[in-house]
Amino acid sequence: MFDNLTGKLSGVIKTLRGETRLTESNIQKALREIRLALLEADVALPVIKDFIARVKEKAVGHEVMNSLTPGQALVGVVHQELISIMGREKSDINLSTVPPAVILMAGLQGAGKTTSSGKLAKWLMEQKKKKVLLVSCDIYRPAAIHQLELLAEQVNSDFFPVKPGQKPNEIATAALDYARRHHHDVMIVDTAGRLGIDDAMMQEISQLETLLQPIETLFVVDAMQGQDAVNTAKAFADALPLTGIILTKLDGDARGGAALSVQHITGKPIKFTGIAEKLTGLEAFHPDRMASRILG
Ligand code: GDP
């Protein structure tokens, strides 16, 4: 599992040969290689700095077991530390509230909010046997509302019909009433995205959050965004009480560094990953798989 990073470390590992204990001085070069590997995986710099400090703290004084080389022992510490950061909080979707449990989807345009809303509806219907209502508050792009309607048809979930001229707040209120009357267990609310962060968008989604009191506010972020994901995550985490993250497009060639960065910045767990464009392409998050991906 650690082959690749171990491969990268092979040069410095030689200098560790024969050591029975990892010390601050004998792991210095290896830590530099690990820092490089994390940079290559697109983990943001401040996150790498914090992470390396944690690894150092855990590794120094670590006894090397007979079956391992000191280098393997160090990579083992790194791997465990990645998993513990990414899996510390329970990452199950939370639906424990009086129905309808509202899930608010937040993120930039193109991150995969609408697609993930459809995928999540399918997942909740199949895995949790829930009755789901899909709602679009993206009044700025009529195509987005239609896109969600088509997804609802494909996954066989209910779709809230928006009336022309309705404002996001009006849609949200009417949809909530509709979901109560039709006994939906879950209502997934897709919101407008913009190409960049702007105040009007943040205000609008923040008002929706206050109005809907969602049990989950999920930040949808494209894994390919790499280092840029940090700024986006920070802006959304400042504006909204996020409860979790959906990391999309992991079927691309992103190394997954965004996972670590976004989690570190928001302090919220990744709950799902998008692993394909198609509607079955949503998976509950596996910290161990992500750790291996990041380490390469
Ligand atoms: P939104 O603007 O945030 O609602 O983004 P969309 O849901 O419209 O998604 C933007 C594009 O990304 C679409 O072409 C989706 O098919 C694609 N997409 C979303 N999630 C994934 C994923 O996990 N993998 C891949 N390959 N494509 C995805």
Dist. CA 114 → ligand 1 center (Å): 7
If you write DSSP's letter for every residue of 126-168 in order, what string do you get? HHS---EEEEE--TT-HHHHHHHHHHHHHHT-EEPPPPTT--H
Residue 137 CB less than 6 A away from ligand 1: no
Return d(Cα 84, Cα 257) in angstroms, integer: 15
Give the closest residue to 40 by CA, choosing from 82, 8, 79, 73: 8
Return d(Cα 72, Cα 80) in angstroms, integer: 12
Mean pLDDT of 127-132: 97
State the pLDDT confidence band at 273, using cuts at 50, 70 and 90.
very high
pLDDT tens, 153-194? 999 999 999 998 999 999 999 999 999 999 999 999 999 987
Protein residue with least CA distance to atom 12, ligand 1: 112
What is the radius of gyration, based on Cα positions, of the chain?
22
Return d(Cα 188, Cα 292) in angstroms, integer: 32
Asked if residue 267 lies in contact with residue 63, where contact means CB atoms within 8 angstroms, the answer is: no
Residue 112 CB less than 6 A away from ligand 1: yes
165 is an annotated ligand-binding site residue: no
State the pLDDT confidence band at 1, using cuts at 50, 70 and 90.
very low
Atom of ligand 1 nearest to the CA of 138: 4
110 is an annotated ligand-binding site residue: yes
Query: Comparing 83-97, 109-123, 168-182, 201-215, which segment has the lowest mean pLDDT?
Result: 83-97
Secondary structure (3-state) at 290: helix
Q: What is the DSSP letter of 21?
A: B
Is the confidence at residue 2, as pLDDT, over 60? no
